[in-house]
Amino acid sequence: MAIEHELSSEIAAALLTGKERAPSELKHLKETVFRVHSTLQQLTAESRRKRFVFRASEDEEKGNVNPRGA
């Protein structure tokens, strides 16, 4: 499971357990959890891109670049 899913699940559980809530409050909490999950997905995707670019530049500096198709 991806980290954004794990964190979103933990946040949702913390927000939604332990108390009776009105439907309007539950809707608001659901939207909040969705926004948190979406933000975590974006951060995770950005982090992956940065790691890929960083590793590619490190490999290039070390001369470890493989030609495409090799």
pTM: 0.56
Supply the range of the domain harboring residue 41. Answer: 23-62
- Residues 36, 11: contact at Cβ < 8 Å? yes
* Angle at the Cα of 2 from the Cα atoms of 11 and 55, rounded to 5 degrees: 125
34 lies in some domain: yes
> Consecutive 10-residue runs of the chain (70 residues): their mean pLDDT?
72 79 87 85 82 75 59
pLDDT on residue 64? 65
Find the radius of gyration of the CA atoms of the chain. 20
**Three-state DSSP class for residue 69:** coil
70 lies in some domain: no
1 lies in some domain: no
7 lies in some domain: no
Exposed e or buried b per residue across 34-66, where buried means at least 16 C-beta atoms within 10 angstroms of its C-beta: eebbeebeeeeeeeeeeeeeeeeeeeeeeeeee
52 lies in some domain: yes
17 lies in some domain: no
Quote the number of domains for the chain: 1
